[in-house]
Amino acid sequence: MNKGSILVIDDEVQMQKLLEITLQSNQYAVQQAVTAKEGMALAASHPPDMILLDLGLPDEDGHAVLQQLREWYTNPVIILSVQNSERDIIRALDNGANDYLTKPFRTGELLARMRSALRSNVMQENEPVLQFGTLQIDLSDRIVKKNGEQVKLTSTEYSLLTLFARHEGKVLTHQYLLREIWGAGYISQSQYLRVFIAQLRKKIEDDPNRPSFIITESGVGYRFVGKE
């Protein structure tokens, strides 16, 4: 059973071989490109279900490639890069990457991140009611339930939770969350975010001090984990 088509844009030969073997053995169809130009052409002519993108391409900066892709490509993009600075990670996520893995990475973790991103993409298209274990979000009626009991959320808390749920598995940066919920004028007001994250955790987590849904990504933002 084919789980989806993956386009790998990476000029490192060993990485290409590793990804080809790993992905094909897990029932993914694989296309490969070694330059930004080749990758963009393949993405346009045979749009894949997901793109794995290296930032260090020989002909163009990977960040610029990501920005170009996000002008029209709506499926998940995961960055695979040796660049591990907080600045690069935040920049990529703010430019539309669904996730970011630093090389070298564990293939099991990559596959888990891929499943999460692909599942989230399908969920956004097809599910008016989102189910995450004991947590249920009815998007049409704006009702949230935990263990079958309705959870009373403020308008802002609901907006924050649904933003997380629609990007399940993806790291959302502080700046992105502040801009989406409060507006561009609030992107430096991180205290707003901390307060509402704490309030939301008290209402949806079994133990707010050991959250299982809203996970802190230190120095970067938060990740909503809906399923194992």
How confident is the model over 21-33, as pLDDT tens digits?
Answer: 999 999 999 999 9
CATH 1.20.120.450 applies to domain 152-224 = no
Half-sphere exposure of residue 181: CA atoms within 13 angstroms, side-chain side? 27
For residues 34 and 85, which has the higher predicted lDDT (pLDDT)? 34
The mean pLDDT value for 176-188 works out to 83
Strands of 77-81's sheet in order across: 28-33, 4-9, 50-53, 77-81, 99-102
Domain boundaries, given as residue ranges, for the chain: 4-122, 152-224
**Sequence-distant (≥ 6) Cβ neighbours of residue 213 within 8 angstroms:** 132, 135, 164, 201, 204, 205, 224, 225, 226
The mean pLDDT value for 25-51 works out to 95
Q: What is the pLDDT of residue 2?
A: 77
Q: What is the pLDDT of residue 116?
A: 81
HEC string of 106-145 equals CHHHHHHHHHHHHHHHHHHHHCCEEEECCEEEECCCCEEE
Residue 187 pLDDT grade (very low, low, confident, very high; cuts 50, 70, 90)? confident
Query: How far is residue 63's CA from residue 88's CA, in Å, rounded to a whole number?
Result: 9
Of all residues in the chain, what percent carry a pLDDT higher than 70?
A: 95
CATH no. of 4-122 = 3.40.50.2300
Q: What is the pLDDT of residue 202?
A: 95
Q: What is the pLDDT of residue 71?
A: 86
How confident is the model over 112-162, as pLDDT tens digits?
Answer: 889 888 876 665 555 678 889 899 998 878 899 999 999 998 888 998 999
Of all residues in the chain, what percent carry a pLDDT higher than 90?
A: 58
Beta-bridged to residue 98, according to DSSP, are none
Across the chain, mean pLDDT equals: 89
**Sequence-distant (≥ 6) Cβ neighbours of residue 8 within 8 angstroms:** 16, 19, 20, 23, 30, 31, 32, 33, 51, 52
Q: What is the pLDDT of residue 139?
A: 83
Query: How far is residue 9's CA from residue 31's CA, in Å, rounded to a whole number?
Result: 9
For residues 129 and 69, which has the higher predicted lDDT (pLDDT)? 69
Q: What is the DSSP letter of 186?
A: G
Taking 70 as the threshold, does the pLDDT of residue 227 lie above it?
A: no
How confident is the model over 70-122, as pLDDT tens digits?
Answer: 888 888 999 999 988 888 998 898 888 888 999 999 999 999 889 888 876 66
